[in-house]
Amino acid sequence: MASLGPILGISKVIKGEMSREEYFERNGHRGPHEFELSIPDPSEDVNWLERQIKEFEESDTDADELLQKQHIQYEAAWKRFVERFPSKVKWLEKQMAKASEGARIREAARSEFVRVFRVVRSFALKAGELTGIGEDVFFLYINEVEDLLSDRDVKVKYIPARKENYEKYKALPPFPSVIRGRFNPLEWVKDPNRRMDFYDSTMPIAIASDSEMLKGFAGAAGKIEGIVRILATPEEGEKLQPGEILVATTTNVGWTPLFPRAAAIITDVGAPLSHAAIVARELGIPAVVGCGNATLRLKTGDKIIVDGGQGIVHILM
């Protein structure tokens, strides 16, 4: 699938099966900030691929080996099913084909849509260059960019204030993916029991802070005990040591190169068809997604058990 392109591509570059130029042509537009026009994608950073290769080699990561291991387990599970339920084989084949095709189409469509976003970024950068305001163009609304290009009155005096607000909000954690009612992020961030997946102003959520278990969705089967590593962004990926359990608010394709190093994946936001769940299943890494507040309840260094099949995280210490 398209989501696996970045890590499989890096593996091929290391093995000499793909050139660096071909890698960027296929995957250079994919990154952790795909829908934020003001942030460059990997293809704009000449050292990005070299850093990824170095991290892969230092951690002895082999994505192909993980995929092969998962394929062997799949074949064994399929053989057992055929032997036990021969009358249901055709039915299950159809269901699996339908689900697999849906996931592939969705990931491929997202990849191509990101290419469009990157074109829009190029347009914005050119507009900034032509008008002399450079990357400050990202602090204008689209109609203001049009006015600027047409020599009409543009309130560029508002750019400093917008920059200040941007830095203020940038310092906050990611907002919940679902927000219902009036939402004040500056008040929300003060709540130690806040959820990261949804916010409902009409239904305060009370969470027992001394609970020894987190519940989410079963993302990828498997049970493993390990040490937590909380990351706020994929740019902090160098902190993730091989065998640690990656805990994040959510993930996207920009996080994919980190997955082979992780023993398990936990996210605040997500569902069985989210990026974290799909990639973890492909690589055979246990995952619990949509826990709500794992990044608040856990801290780097905690010892936990991840039960991906049940969607449960047991906090040991």
Catalytically active residues are: 275
Hunting for tokens 């826990």 — which residue is that?
A: 291
Cβ atoms of 296 and 311 within 8 Å: the answer is: no
Three-state DSSP state, 229: strand
Cα–chain-centroid distance for residue 292?
Answer: 15
Cα–Cα dist 66/72, whole Å:
10
φ, ψ (nearest 5 deg) of residue 187: -85, -40
Cα–Cα dist 304/213, whole Å:
9
Cα–Cα dist 74/284, whole Å:
10
Cα–Cα dist 26/49, whole Å:
13
Closest by CA position to 3, among listed 288, 273, 291:
273
Three-state DSSP state, 58: helix
